[in-house]
Amino acid sequence: MTGPVPQSIARTPRGSVEIVWSDGLRAEYSPRLLRDACPCATCREIRGAAAPPPLLPVLAAAELVPLAVAAMRPVGQYAYGIEFSDGHSSGIYTLDYLHELGGGRGPAPGQPGPESGGPAPQ
């Protein structure tokens, strides 16, 4: 694998995680973003199976107990395990996945371009 790798990982004052990547991308990941993107089997099942939970305008619970990244530990060479303040820690985030979450160039085979869909000019 020759993808971008983190040059530095830091906690921001707001509780987000900031990763500076070897390709120059500087991305900030909020705990909520990471938690919602948790790639573990349990979370994928929840996201895929049931209807999404209703979005309530009042985030009382979240305000009482703000979600935080409790720990981030390397898993092998190419992934991080992230432990959240809600106790969930089974998600393993590969570097590719993290880079993509941060807005990096992910594999985007279906990305619409000017060549797709429109009538080709003669």
Binding interface with Zn ion (CB under 5 A): 38, 40, 43, 91
Q: How far is the CB of 62 from Zn ion (least distance, A)?
A: 17
Residue whose CB is less far from Zn ion, 7 or 42: 42
Tokens of 51: 């209807």
Closest CB 86 distance from Zn ion, rounded Å: 10
Q: Residue 29: which of 104, 94, 102 has the closest Cα?
A: 102
From the CB of 94, what's the least distance to Zn ion, in Å?
A: 14
Nearer to Zn ion by Cβ, of 5 and 37: the residue is: 37
Q: Which is nearer to Zn ion, 15 or 81 (CB)?
A: 81
Which two tokens mark 118?
A: 């429109």
Q: Which is closer to Zn ion, CB of 20 or CB of 89?
A: 89
Query: Cβ 61 to Zn ion, closest distance in Å?
Result: 18
- CA dist., res. 113 & res. 96, Å (int): 23
Contact 91, 40 (CB under 8 A): yes
Enclosing H/E stretch for 73: strand 69-75
